Amino acid sequence: MKKLIMGFLILLFSLSVNAQTVTELLDEAQNSIKMAFEAHGNLKSPYEYSKAVTYYEIAKEETSKMNVDAGKAAALQSIEWALRAISNAYTGGEK
């Protein structure tokens, strides 16, 4: 019985750690998109900005369906594209 409870707790802990990481990444992605919007990335770099937003939507969708790995990967992509939108907005350069 003790082993069962211990196993259940470990499972809960690992799930919570995993979910927190995805949540953190989603939070980070949202912040990056917000920063890109504030830097007028949606106007100056619409391709990168819309890609970041779409990846964020995908990340939310996948995380809600418990596909944590896909959620993480999509959130990371969202962060990357949002950062590109920010840098393009400030430098005005091409990809």
Could you list the residues that contact other proteins (CB under 8 A)? 46-51, 53-55, 58, 61-62, 65, 67, 69-70, 72-74, 76-77, 81, 91-94
Q: Rounded to the nearest whole angstrom, what is the least distance from the CB of residue 3 to other proteins in the complex?
A: 27
Given a contact cutoff of 8 angstroms between Cβ atoms, the answer to whether 36 and 86 are in contact is: yes
Q: Rounded to the nearest whole angstrom, what is the least distance from the CB of residue 70 to other proteins in the complex?
A: 5
Q: Rounded to the nearest whole angstrom, what is the least distance from the CB of residue 90 to other proteins in the complex?
A: 11
CB atoms within 10 A of CB 48: 23
Given a contact cutoff of 8 angstroms between Cβ atoms, the answer to whether 33 and 53 are in contact is: yes
